[in-house]
Amino acid sequence: MSDALIVEHDGGVVTIVNNDPPRNRMTLEYMDELEALIPELASDPSVRALVFTGAGDEHFSVGMNLKQLPEGVKQKGGIEAVFDQRLSVLAAIESLEKPTIALLYGYCLGGGLELPLACHFRLAAAEGAKIGLPELDLGTVPAWGGTARLTRCVGRDAALDMILRAKKISGDEALRIGLVHEVWPNAELRERGHALARELAAMPPLAVAGVLRCVVGAGERSLEEALAEERRAVMKTMGSADQIEGMKAFMEKRRPNFTGG
């Protein structure tokens, strides 16, 4: 285990820090450790929400460490294997049945946007954020699912505008087109992200998992399939300790205390 990432636990919230300041490149070591970490967190019932950020206050991530690409090709057995690993890791993040939040500040470029696009929530800094998929400046195409996820997030026209012009947009512009959920002053971004994580961690995890299964996969299912998945999610919560507590709290006009049961 290297020091490529730092894992911080705070109750049910886990923060994953890309530890390569100031630019927080997504190194081979970072991706290897993330590949091993995500399944562990997925199976840990004490983990209720995840926050992705970078070390320091300058940049979330400039994306892949291109200087390591020849080494990665050698290690993994080819360029496609390098990309396949990253696609697999991002798919694992996207399919987590626990809420994920990415904090976007400074450079959020290439893989530094593609990872946040796999998260359920994105919060951006009000000042200094440069968010984009500028791969065309390198003569290539986003390789970690960026074209598909950005299009699903902001729509065809906004995605084409960003990618074909290699634009790096601000937090406010990202909010305008629906790429991020909230924008906060830089000094408040981390606390607001963790406040959101604590809010989500307090929700009933069985129901949260059901909502995430329903909503994240909705675009790939027919209406009938989506409704069937919703029914399965509902029925899985019926009779659970949290569902009983939620109903009891509603009747007693108080806030529920969800324990994960």
Q: What is the pLDDT of residues 133-192, one digit of tens each?
A: 999 998 899 999 999 999 999 999 999 999 999 999 999 999 999 999 999 999 999 999
* pLDDT tens-digit readout, 58-93: 999 999 998 998 999 999 999 999 999 999 999 999
Q: Residue ranges of the domains in the chain? A: 5-201, 205-251
Is CATH 3.30.365.10 the right assignment for the domain spanning 5-201? Answer: no
Give the CA-trace dihedral at 238, 213, 154, 56, to 10 degrees: 100
Q: Which pLDDT score is estimated for 53?
A: 98
> What single string gives the DSSP state of each residue in 87-122?
HHHHHHHHT-SS-EEEEE-SEEETHHHHHHHTSSEE
pLDDT tens digits, residue range 106-116?
999 999 999 99
The one catalytic residue in 114, 127, 188, 245 is 114
199 catalytic per annotation = no
Which of 10-24, 57-71, 104-118, 241-255 is least confident?
A: 241-255
Instruction: Evaluate if residue 1 carries a pLDDT over 60.
Output: no
Query: What's the CA gap between 53 and 6, in Å, rounded?
Result: 10
- Annotated active-site residue in 80, 135, 230, 252: 135
Q: Is 252 a catalytic residue?
A: no
Q: What is the CA radius of gyration of the chain?
A: 19
